[in-house]
Amino acid sequence: MWLYEKRLQYPVNIKTPNAKMAQFIMSQYGGPDGEIGASMRYLSQRYAMPYKECKALLTDIGTEELAHMEIVAAIIHQLTRDLTLEEIESSGFGPYYIDHATGIWPQAAGGIPFNACEFQSKGDTITDLFEDMAAEQKARSTYDNILRVVKDPDVCDPIRYLREREIVHFQRFGEAARIVQDHLDSKDFYAFNPAFDPTPAVLPAIDQSGNGQPAVPKAAVNAADGADGGMDCCCGCSAGK
């Protein structure tokens, strides 16, 4: 359950409409590396995550991605409000306008609609976390591309903020991968899937040294205090202090 606050996580105050710019930024709403896919990815993956610290992280970052989706939608809305028909036609915004007027609809910059095939929830702890790290880097790259073509400082400001958060999320997922590896057999992280297979106590991982003996997993790290994993802010960084 979420509590909604009627404010953006980061302010958006765009003074000059620009439909062409809106088409570029739209990709981070419903494109292949956009905020809708990110939120659905993390909020879906958390159910199969066996470690509560990592489950809390997926919940927190997935929730923050919903806030980022709202920021991107606000940017698109402010860039397309009060457009004249001449501006719509001259900017190439006409095809979108015919289907949606100036409503917000999830698609990539090239016009491809959002679809769930653009993200995965594999049910494998390591696989999912490495997908998450890659997803954050792809989103960061997309924001870099946007910043190369967008010159309006009112637009660049929130875009830079979103880009910075992708970097923080990448770092947090890397820390989560380290937590997972600390729970597993250090000689073979892939001996079993902790989200699905029986634990090594029931189905021991085989020592890859060749002696045929069950491998002993490293001791699990102590869980942080609190049900939310002891995180300071919505992504687990120290920004909330």
Numbered residues of the known binding site for Ca(2+): 60
Cα 15 to chain centroid, rounded: 28
Residue type, 27: S
Q: Crossing angle, helix 52-80 and helix 125-149, to 10 degrees?
A: 20
Other CB atoms within a 10 A radius of the CB of residue 110 amount to: 10
3-state per-residue secondary structure call for 143-188:
HHHHHHHCCCHHHHHHHHHHHHHHHHHHHHHHHHHHHHHHHCCCCC
The answer to whether the beta carbons of residues 176 and 42 sit under 8 Å apart is: no
- What is the amino acid identity at position 198? P
| Binding site listing for Mn(2+) | 35, 65, 68, 136, 169
Feature table: binding site: 35, 60, 65, 68, 136, 169
SS3 state of residue 169: helix
Task: Give the C-alpha distances (Å, rounded to integers) separating 183 from 46, 102, 123, 133.
Answer: 17, 50, 17, 19
| Calculated CA dihedral for residues 6, 9, 13, 16, nearest 10 degrees | -110
- Residue 102, beta-bridge partner list: none
